[in-house]
Amino acid sequence: MKNFDVIVIGGGPGGYVAAVRASQLGFSTALVEKESLGGTCLNWGCIPTKSLLKNAEVANLLGKGRNFGFKFDNLELDYSVAHSRSRKVVMRQTKRVAFLIKNNNITLFEGTARFKSDTEIEIDPSGEVISGKSIIVAAGAKTRALPGAPYDGEAIINFRKALDLKELPKSALIIGAGPIGMEFATVWSRYGVKVTVVEMMDHVLPLEDEAISIEAFKQFKRNGIKIKTGAMVKAVSRTAEGADVTVSAGEDEEVISVEKVLVSIGFEPNTEELALENTGVTVTKGCIEVDEQMRTTSPSIYAIGDINGKMGLAHVASAQGMIAAETIAGKNTEPLVYHNIPRCTYAHPEIASVGLTEKQAQEQGYDVVTAECPFIANGKAMAMDDNTGFVKIVAEQKEKKILGVHLIGGHVTELIAGPTGMIHADLGFEKLAETVHAHPTISESIMEAAHKLCGHAVHI
Amino acid sequence: MKEIEELQFVEDVRYFEEHTWVKQDGDAMLIGISDYAQDQLGEIIFVELPELDAEFDRGEQFGLVESVKTASELYMPVGGVVVAVNIELEDNPEEVNQQPFTKGWMIRIKVSDASELDALLDAEAYQKTLVD
């Protein structure tokens, strides 16, 4: 039986990072992957969606002839090319991960892992059993299905199927106005699909600061996406063309007929297939329980990424993977402060935020003060013909700490790293205001909002 | 990366300074990159090849090769029209690393001006350019 210092189950952004780090730390490392290296993020999430969103951006730009001085007849958009480009991008990145694994001397096993004990796993279908002094579980999550509307891969689909489409439907209903739902709404509507989004909560992107959600709703609707908030899907029934979806909002009920229904209501951890009952691991509400060092209740087993339910983002999985590997090596690690991890939505407009929302800050008893700086006056944003949205800083008066930074507008996902750094280094809004930002950039508006908090904004 | 002595400099192709080679294949010619080039690039992940019927001059860029550590433009050793591309490289770009002069061929062209072949280097002359 092959023995390893560290076995990692799952080759996604959590697993492959943990495996590479473990190997760097001198451990003999194995990685078990049942499908594709890179996991959900690389193959069916982050990466292909960003590729499709770029194509959608180009498609959108081609409609702006009047603004930019061009015209032509017979514009034809070919979504199948957008799809195939997204798959090529995925393939190139998967190859990179494969080389990372190879060049770090990590032994790759293909198959599904099942625990036989706290230190042994059996790999399906080969039946091989391997043992590890430490095992890091990074098996990810799968989409939650809507009760009463099981996926059929045709009319009722999830994000995986959505990314596989080589042709778009004429109409679609998206259940769930979170980042994934709104990203698909953006791509599809830009390619001419009639999109309706149904969201149970009162706001789109319900986890964002309310001011952001309200602006996002306005912009999405301006971009031609129909949205119903505070609305529940009561029933989904198959029809010849696709499906009839019964949506109720308060007293009103209506039936919306579409070709495809995309269900994007969240994920649930892949804890079922691992045979965790053969270990000392504790699973609560489907998630593997972990401490701040990613240790489970079994001394040899760690769990990182979506499967521990802390925060379902790829960069969180990677950060947790580093912590797990370093903990196994006996190093001290800093616990993650989850609300200070940035989260991004790549729809149009983009949304990016880090830290607390205004409401959360108030609930936590801070002496809250906020400042907004709209992009409408920002020179770079105007020059790029993309000046909707704003910066909102949530801070507290006593120690001038930055509690949260919330951005909505063009390119803001690239801007959030700066504020994330300032919060991580605990550098307060006075220091942010003092930090000279390059001109002309959209990022200047962040500095301007900080100036406003200091009481001396110049441009607003 | 290998030392010069460890690299292959096959004799049955003509070399271009930009590390591509050309060789007769029936009534057309094949183009690829040298062993030196693939070795410098490292593990190749992706080869971007032109469309069929695309026409390029000698020295013009016809494609791109991407490896784990960098990307490199591909230049025509002689001018011509693309009549075939090696579609194997789509799924198996590592063929370029493993067999740069044979299975790792990239494009097949009809040469526009045969006299341009005279300006190309033989194995010895090409190897000399690497040492200088």
Question: Taking residues A134-154, what's their average pLDDT?
Answer: 94
Assess whether the previous peptide bond of A206 is cis (omega < 30° from 0): no
DSSP string of B37-70?
Answer: HHHHH-SEEEEE-PPTT-EE-TT-EEEEEEESS-
**What are the structure tokens assigned to B49, written together?**
């090849």
pLDDT band at B131 (very low <50, low <70, confident <90, very high): confident
Task: Give B14 to chain A, closest Cα distance, Å.
Answer: 31
> What's the whole-number mean pLDDT along residues A20-43?
97
Catalytic, out of A406, A424, A437, A439: A439
User: Residue A383: helix, strand or coil by DSSP?
Assistant: helix
Interface with chain B: mutation pick from A87, A96, A100, highest number of B CBs within 10 Å? A96
Six token digits for residue A24: 């760097």
Does A460 score more than 90 pLDDT?
A: no
Helix (H, G, I), strand (E, B) or coil at A394: strand
Q: Average pLDDT, stretch A402-430?
A: 97
Q: Retrieve residue A460's tokens.
A: 């607003």
Nearest Cβ partner of B68 from A88, A91, A96?
Answer: A96
Q: What is the pLDDT of residue A189?
A: 97
Alpha helices by DSSP H, A269-363: 314-328, 358-363
Residue A459: pLDDT band with limits 50, 70, 90: confident
- On whether the CB atoms of residues A30 and A6 are closer than 8 A, the answer is yes
Residue A103, min C-alpha distance to chain B (Å): 10
Tell me which DSSP letter residue A149 carries. B
Question: How far does the CA of residue A56 sit from the closest CA of chain B (Å)?
Answer: 22
Using only C-alpha atoms, chain A has a radius of gyration, in whole angstroms, of 23
pLDDT mean across residues, chain A: 96
Q: Is A439 among the residues known to form the active site?
A: yes
Rounded Cα–Cα distance for residues A263 and A160 (Å): 11
Q: What is the mean pLDDT of residues B4-13?
A: 91
Identify residue A62 by its one-letter amino acid code: L
Dihedrals φ, ψ of B130, to 5°?
-80, -30
Among candidates A5, A100, A3, A18, which has minimal Cα distance to A333? A18
> Is-contact B8 B35, C-beta < 8 A?
yes
- Does the pLDDT of residue A296 top 80, yes or no? yes
Check residue B45 and give its pLDDT: 94
Q: What is the pLDDT of residue A39?
A: 97
Q: By the CB < 8 Å criterion, does A84 face chain B?
A: no
Give bridge partners of residue A263 from the DSSP assignment. A175
Please determine, for residue B132, whether its predicted confidence score (pLDDT) is greater than 80.
no
Cross-strand partners of B24 = B29
Is A387's pLDDT higher than 80? Answer: yes
In chain B, DSSP assigns E strands to 14-15, 20-25, 28-33, 44-48, 55-56, 61-67, 71-75, 80-85, 107-111
Cβ separation of B93 and A95 shorter than 8 Å? yes
Question: SS3 for A384?
Answer: coil
The answer to whether the Cβ–Cβ distance between B46 and A96 falls below 8 Å is: no
What tens digit of pLDDT does each residue of A254-281 get? 999 999 999 999 999 999 989 999 999 9
The mean per-residue pLDDT over the stretch A286-290 comes to 97
- Whether A45 shows a pLDDT value over 90: the answer reads yes
Q: What is the pLDDT of residues A423-448, one digit of tens each?
A: 999 999 999 999 999 999 999 999 99
Residues of B in Cβ contact (< 8 Å) with A99: 43, 45, 68
Does pLDDT of A245 surpass 80?
Answer: yes
Within 8 A of A91 by CB-CB distance, chain B residues are: 46
In terms of Cβ atoms closer than 10 Å to its own Cβ (0-12, 13-18, 19+), residue A105 is exposed
DSSP single-letter state for residue A143: E
Q: Residues 43..102 of B with a Cβ closer than 8 Å to A: which? A: 43, 45-46, 66, 68, 93
Q: Phi and psi (nearest 5°) for A335? A: -65, 145
Buried/exposed A417-431: b ≥16 CB within 10 Å, e otherwise: ebbbebbeeebbbee
Alpha carbon B101 to chain centroid, angstroms? 8
Q: State the pLDDT at residue A149.
A: 87
Q: Where are the alpha helices (DSSP H) in A139-265?
A: 159-164, 179-190, 210-222
Eight-state DSSP code of residue B128? H
The region of weakest confidence among A436-450, B4-18, B97-111 is B4-18
Look at residue A111 in the predicted model and tell me its pLDDT: 97
How many residues are present in chain B? 132
Measure CA A15 to chain center: 17
Q: Which of B43, B67, B91 to mutate to test the interface with A (most CBs of A within 10 A)?
A: B43
Query: Rounded distance, CA A140 to CA A268, Å?
Result: 9
**Residue A354, Cβ density class (10 Å: 0-12 exposed, 13-18 middle, ≥19 buried):** buried
Share of chain A above pLDDT 90, in %: 96
Place of tokens 């679609």: A172
